[in-house]
Amino acid sequence: MSVGVLAGKVALVTGAGSGIGRATCRLLARDGAKVIAVDRNLKAAQETVQELGSERSAALEVDVSSAQSVQSSVAEALKKFQQAPTIVVNSAGITRDGYLLKMPERDYDDVYGVNLKGTFLVTQAYAKAMIEQKLENGTIVNLSSIVAKMNNVGQANYAATKAGVISFTEVASKEFGKFGIRVNCILPGYIDTPMVAVVPDSVKQQVVQRCPLGRLGQPEEIAEVIAFLASPQSSYVNGAAIEVTGGLK
Ligand code: NAD
């Protein structure tokens, strides 16, 4: 993307303390946006901010699965740069893999709470703020996953939430279009982040063999597409679900 294309914009990124979220903060700041780095892990979000500099970024501790936490973050976020964010990236996400017959209810609920309900809570709260402040050209980018289509054994909870994110994104794009807010999602393949670090090597090898590019992706390769969707250069892209997988299906 181009340096300066997001000048004057404020972006809010969840899951900003690690992996794709952190890389996204880096690239949105590179393109000129001021960035609010949101994470349940405040220390990790602060590390992201330290890298970007406190003039152009701020950290917020938010648990996206809690309506109260998300709601109270809105006023705090507005205070950071005296402006509601018009770029929102829902990157917070977790896995709790396990076979269905042994999956504890808690693991299902936790994954649902962060990946799908969290995306709903953040989208609703910050879209409301944009609409109330009559801010135009809002853009929301959600993180689905290619697992929504691969439907891997042992990932019923994760796959269901990531498929849900695609439907959620499409509905939101239809409801928010009239407010000038675009909503899109990305389906990353296997990206070299702490989330994938816990995947057994044997599984990663299989993925690499099946991937036409023959390697895992880097977080920046997802963040570049997010930066595009956040920018006016994607002004007619709305309700899209974009695979960024190196060709892995
Ligand atoms: P990661 O584990 O590196 O980072 C996730 C971040 O989310 C962490 O900083 C964590 O503290 C934060 N987080 C977790 N629960 C939270 C909560 N309740 N509230 C606020 N923050 C919370 O993961 P990643 O690889 O960067 O993944 C980012 C997104 O991309 C996720 O939604 C993930 O499902 C999706 N994704 C990742 C991959 C991949 O291969 N890494 C592939 C497809 C999709």
Q: How far is the CA of 197 from the centre of ligand 1 (A)?
A: 12
Quick one: which atom of ligand 1 is closest to the CA of 186? 44
Q: What's the pLDDT score for residue 22?
A: 98
In a domain, residue 145? The reply is yes
Q: How far is the CA of 183 from the centre of ligand 1 (A)?
A: 19
Cα(148)–Cα(161) distance, integer angstroms: 8
Cα(29)–Cα(200) distance, integer angstroms: 34
Nearest C-alpha to atom 24 of ligand 1 is from which residue? Answer: 19
Q: How far is the CA of 195 from the centre of ligand 1 (A)?
A: 7
1 pLDDT band, cuts 50/70/90, is low
Cα(142)–Cα(239) distance, integer angstroms: 11
DSSP-assigned letter for residue 244: E
Reply yes or no on whether the pLDDT at 3 is more than 80.
no
DSSP-assigned letter for residue 228: H
User: CATH number for the domain including 92?
Assistant: 3.40.50.720
In a domain, residue 189? The reply is yes
Cα(199)–Cα(78) distance, integer angstroms: 38
In a domain, residue 249? The reply is no
User: Residue type for 90, please?
Assistant: N
Q: How far is the CA of 145 from the centre of ligand 1 (A)?
A: 11
96-119 residue pLDDT tens: 999 999 999 999 999 999 999 999
Sign of CA dihedral 66, 153, 243, 228: positive
232 lines ligand 1 (CB under 6 A): no
Cα(145)–Cα(165) distance, integer angstroms: 9
In a domain, residue 222? The reply is yes
218 lines ligand 1 (CB under 6 A): no
Q: What's the pLDDT score for residue 136?
A: 87
Backbone angles phi, psi at 28, to 5 degrees: -65, -35
Contact 119, 113 (CB under 8 A): no
∠ Cα 101 187 222 (to 5°): 130
Residue 128 lies in domain? 10-240
246 lines ligand 1 (CB under 6 A): no
Q: Give how many domains the chain has, as a whole number.
A: 1
77-96 residue pLDDT tens: 999 999 999 999 999 999 99
Task: State the distance between the two ends of the chain, measured CA to CA, in whole angstroms.
Answer: 26
106-165 residue pLDDT tens: 999 999 999 999 999 999 999 999 999 999 899 999 999 999 999 999 999 999 999 999
In a domain, residue 236? The reply is yes
Contact 141, 184 (CB under 8 A): yes
In a domain, residue 85? The reply is yes
Nearest by Cα to 35 from 46, 195, 43: 46
Helix axes 19-30, 42-52, angle to 10 degrees: 30
In a domain, residue 1? The reply is no
In a domain, residue 248? The reply is no
16-37 residue pLDDT tens: 999 999 999 999 999 999 999 9
DSSP-assigned letter for residue 18: S
The neighbouring-strand residues paired with 234 are none
Contact 142, 185 (CB under 8 A): yes
